[in-house]
Amino acid sequence: MSAAGSEHLAGVKLPKVGTYMTNREVEECKDEIKSIEGMLSDPRPQVQAQIEDRGAMSAAARSLVNRLNTDAPPETTPEQRDAIAKREEELLGKIMEGMPSKMEMRKCPPGAIGKHAQWEKRNKAHIIEWKNLKRLQNRGNDDPDISNLEMHRPTASTLNMDNAVIPGTDYFIPPATQAYRDGYDQTFQKARIEMGLESPPEASSGTVAELQRRLAELEQRLESASAKPAKERPALVPETAACGKECASKAGRMAHERTHKCALQPVGEAVE
């Protein structure tokens, strides 16, 4: 990007090529300069013996200093920061127009490659400028996502996901309507209470009165049931089977005769 693109920034110079250094790159560059200068100025013979080419080290330090002067975000005035914020917002709006969504980039449905290529060609210069403005706005900030455009990529897709290269799985999330919330609470409230994740709801006065009425009704039924005398079972009348065996009841005699077939045998014969 040429320096002419900085006129709207009230004199702030942008890098001619590429983007500003991140804060991490600036700090690493400063540490390397400090290390080189420390070795060159160290009076100890053992340190100086490790230096193979003082000229090359000095040249490396000057190169790093030049890089800081040209590629590190410079300090800005309040007026410049206002202009930067306005331009950054304007650029982001342009970049977001037609930007492929997260799902389109991940699943690559038909048309996604062409859509991305056209969008990137149309916004390449805008993206570089936007990154520079974000790093100017956040000079000294260590957040690695300060100038990460992916943080602003839309989620809504305009392409048909049928026949996508990576089909994936689609999930339907119902809208957060009042009816959905009522149904959700009714379905999962009991489970949450049993798991100890939620306290039982306090019963209203009408609910308490109804529960007390039902409890009194159940207690009355129990008392009535316990007051009724137990039905007496009829006494069993013993009967003798055809083979002469004494049985406790008619049912017992019939079962014995059916099992041993003694009804067909003469009385007095032994049953095998």
Distance CA 150, CA 72 (A): 23
DSSP string, 151-205: GG------S--TT-SS-----------HHHHHHHHHHHHHHHHHTTSSPPPPPPH
Residues 64 and 92 in one domain: no
Residues 57 and 90 in one domain: no
Residues 5-44 as b or e (16 or more Cβ within 10 Å = b): bbeebeebebbeeebbbbbeebeebeeebeebeeeeeeee
Across 110-122, average pLDDT: 94
Residues 43 and 87 in one domain: no
Asked whether residue 2 is assigned to any structural domain, the reply reads no
Task: For the chain, report the end-to-end CA distance as a whole number of angstroms.
Answer: 116
Residues 66 and 136 in one domain: no
Instruction: Examine the fold and report which residue of 97, 127, 158 is the final residue of a domain before the chain moves on.
Output: 158
The amino acid present at 250, given as its one-letter code, is: K
Asked whether residue 263 is assigned to any structural domain, the reply reads yes
Q: Of 17 and 153, which is predicted with more confidence? A: 153
Q: What contacts 146, CB < 8 A, 6 or more positions away?
A: 22, 134, 135, 138
Residues 86 and 153 in one domain: yes
Among 120-124, 131-135, 144-148, 169-173, the minimum mean pLDDT is found in 169-173
Structure tokens at 160: 């048909």
Q: How high does pLDDT run on average in the chain? A: 83
Across 186-195, average pLDDT: 78
Instruction: Examine the fold and report which residue of 140, 158, 176 is the final residue of a domain before the chain moves on.
Output: 158
Asked whether residue 192 is assigned to any structural domain, the reply reads no
Residues 82 and 151 in one domain: yes
Q: What is the pTM of this model?
A: 0.56
**Predicted confidence (pLDDT) at residue 2 exceeds the cutoff of 60:** no
Across 173-190, average pLDDT: 76
Tell me how many domains the chain contains.
3
Q: What contacts 168, CB < 8 A, 6 or more positions away?
A: 106, 107
Instruction: Examine the fold and report which residue of 131, 158, 185 is the final residue of a domain before the chain moves on.
Output: 158
Asked whether residue 178 is assigned to any structural domain, the reply reads no
Of all residues in the chain, the percent with pLDDT exceeding 70 is 89
Residues 68 and 79 in one domain: no
pLDDT digits (tens, 9 = 90+) for 56-115: 999 999 999 999 988 999 888 888 889 999 999 999 999 999 999 999 999 999 999 999
Residues 105 and 63 in one domain: no
The range of the structural domain enclosing residue 49 comes to 21-72
The SS3 assignment for 246 reads strand
Residues 153 and 83 in one domain: yes
Residues 27 and 50 in one domain: yes
**Predicted confidence (pLDDT) at residue 170 exceeds the cutoff of 50:** yes
Asked whether residue 99 is assigned to any structural domain, the reply reads yes
Residues 143 and 92 in one domain: yes
The SS3 assignment for 108 reads coil
pLDDT digits (tens, 9 = 90+) for 29-44: 999 999 999 999 888 9
Asked whether residue 257 is assigned to any structural domain, the reply reads yes
Asked whether residue 40 is assigned to any structural domain, the reply reads yes
Asked whether residue 47 is assigned to any structural domain, the reply reads yes
Residues 66 and 79 in one domain: no
